[in-house]
Amino acid sequence: MKKRKALTLIETTIAIFVLLVGVVSILQLYPVGLKTSRFSYHLSVASALAQGKAEEMLAKNFEEVTSVPRTAVDSSPSSPFHLYDWEAKVSLVDPNNNLAESSTETQIKRIEIIIYWKEGDQSKEYHLNTLYAQK
């Protein structure tokens, strides 16, 4: 019996099939990675914008801190933030009642900053809450 030095057609076909399954699997994961990366980017930007808006509000006097309706962060199309809107909801909270909203005047305000953006056909939001005590 002779020793073979080459692969048969069936062995070659199976090897190519195994390689193709691996390549197709990797190619199917690529869009998922891109989507995750894009969402992470928008979430990081939204977090930084919310923190900046919260700092702006905390720099004001206690009486000047009021709710802000939904507006564009920056309406200039050349700005990297033109895709984002923001809104601030300010409410009085009762420190003696587990920070529940209060209708009476208290010394603490809850500030909720909401950053909005569109990702594809879906609208996304990032919420940041902070408390502001009267000095």
Provide CB contacts within 8 A for 15, sequence distance 6+.
7
Query: What's the pLDDT at 96?
Result: 79
pTM, two decimal places:
0.76
Say whether pLDDT at 43 is over 90.
yes
Q: Cα separations (Å) of 91 from 24, 104, 113? A: 53, 11, 12
Per-residue tokens: 130: 């902070």
pLDDT tens sequence across 9-35: 888 899 999 999 999 988 888 888 888
**pLDDT band at residue 1 under the 50/70/90 scheme:** low
- Note whether 101 and 127 are within 8 A (CB): no
- CA 79, CA 38: separation in Å to the nearest integer? 18
Domain boundaries, the chain: 9-133
The single residue listed with the structure tokens 């990702």 is 119
Compute the chain's Rg from CA coordinates.
27
